[in-house]
A and B are shown apart, each in its own frame.
Chain A
Amino acid sequence: MKKNQKLLPILTNGIIKENPILRLVLGTCPFLAITTCATNGIGMGIAATFVLIGSNATVSLLRNFIPDKVRIPAYITIIAGFVTIVQMLVKAFLPSIDSALGIYLPLIVVNCIILARAEMFANKNSVLPSIFDAIGMGIGFTLSLLVMGAIRELLGAGTIFSIPITSNFIEPMTIMILPPGGFFVFGILVAIANIVATKSGKKPVTSFGCETCNGDCGSCKGEVNDCE
């Protein structure tokens, strides 16, 4: 019974309290690169969620068998395996998403979120909580991608999901779907998340996620949580 009560907080943890993008500031490369429209955001989010669930479950199952010294290479191999599966599935069933995400699909391998969750959570917990953690983190990541993609698409092209919203009467600001717009919208989003966090009595994110652990996600051992 006690275990079941704990599962729900694990799930919601990743969505709001420890949102991977806005609170932990992990996995920013794909976040900035592919959010030129909302559809891409969802595609990337689902692909990363699938890899997260797979790798978290596998790492959790094997946590007692993987020697501590070689755990990071072992995790990377597991993650790369799942990324390869996703790549093949997307190529076969969603070729349009495949061409939109391009090189960023294989780059899920080096996405900090996935390695960080393997190291910080799946390594220490049993299978079911690990899967819930992966789902929560995945939803949090997908939601942030969706919000960012929608804002940039609305401002930069005047559409959301290719449906015209403001493009008929306002000239869209193309700069927003270009690289500078990505940095800018992300900066504003983090500022908003910080205001919300401060209001609800939490510390704002001031340093970059990888900054707290010198960018070495492998050896950070969950110190990222200190931003909480």
Chain B
Amino acid sequence: MSSLITIFLAGIMTENMVLSKFLGICSFLGVSQKVKTALSMSIAVIFVMFMSTAVTYPIYAYLLLPKDLDYLQTLVFILVIAALVQLIEIALKKLSQPIYSALGIYLPLITTNCIILGITLLNFTKDLSYVESLVNSLGAGAGYLVAMVIFAGVRGRIESCDIPERLQGLPITLISASIVSLSFLGFSGIVG
């Protein structure tokens, strides 16, 4: 049990996917102008990440590995994730209109988000069990949420600042991301 908590906390703090592993940078910089959209995007990512891990783990462990097909890992995983995102989108549209209207537009973006494929691949390089993988994906998702929400707050402040002309836009965004990332370095050594 304690190891599961460690995996979860490490995902948020020391091994934050966005700020220390650089996964999901596209959406981290692209969808973080407002706290509200950052929050919706993060919830969609957590949901898809958890589902993808739940589906890809058994496929790899019980289908690809016994048949010596593990070299197909990348190909199978990306197709499974793409199909899964489509299915989730269709299911949400039918089952829950409010959730769909809140998260719907973020779902297509998630297929090509490297954080999803990244976490499903990382689970195997780290040799995690099924339950540990699920917890790891939840932890990584929570870490993504924390990073997104903090950074959206930071960007909100930047907007009202007087920034040198050459640094406006993307450069200052990246430099402030660097400082947010620096603050997460402070967590190193706390967990794990």
Contacts and interface: CB of A to CB of B under 8 A. Distances in A.
Contact of B22 (A182, A191, A204): A182
A180 B82 contact: no
Contacts of B23: 29, 33, 107
Interface in B159-192: 166-175, 177-179, 181-182, 184-185
A25 B170 contact: yes
A110 B75 contact: no
B118 interface: yes
A209 B71 CA distance: 32
Contact of B168 (A83, A88, A206, A218): A206
A220 B185 CA distance: 35
B40 interface: no
Contacts of B24: 29
A33 B170 CA distance: 18
Nearest to A106: B74
B188 to A, nearest CB: 10
A191 B166 contact: yes
B19 interface: yes
A115 B177 CA distance: 26
Nearest to B119: A103
A135 interface: no
B113 interface: yes
Contact of B108 (A25, A87, A191, A219): A219
Interface string A157-191: 00000000000000000010011111110111011
B51 to A, nearest CB: 17
Contacts of A175: 182
Interface in A122-171: none
Given A190-B170, A204-B169, A183 B112 contact: no
B125 interface: yes
Interface string B14-57: 00000111111111011100000000000000000000000000
Contact of A210 (B30, B108, B175): B30
A208 interface: yes
Contacts of A110: 78, 112-114, 117
B128 interface: no
B72 interface: yes
B158 interface: no
Contacts of A215: 26-27, 30-31, 109, 113
B111 interface: yes
Contacts of A29: 22-26, 114
Interface string A67-88: 0000001001100110110011
Contacts of A191: 166-167, 171
A206 to B, nearest CB: 3
Contact of A80 (B74, B109, B121): B74
A216 B78 contact: no
A10 interface: no
A87 B71 CA distance: 9
B174 A187 contact: yes
19 contacts: A25-B170, A29-B22, A29-B114, A30-B22, A103-B121, A107-B117, A112-B26, A115-B112, A175-B182, A178-B185, A179-B184, A179-B185, A184-B178, A194-B166, A206-B170, A215-B26, A216-B108, A216-B109, A216-B112
Interface of A: 25, 28-30, 32-33, 73, 76-77, 80-81, 83-84, 87-88, 102-103, 106-107, 109-112, 115, 175, 178-184, 186-188, 190-191, 194-195, 204-211, 214-219
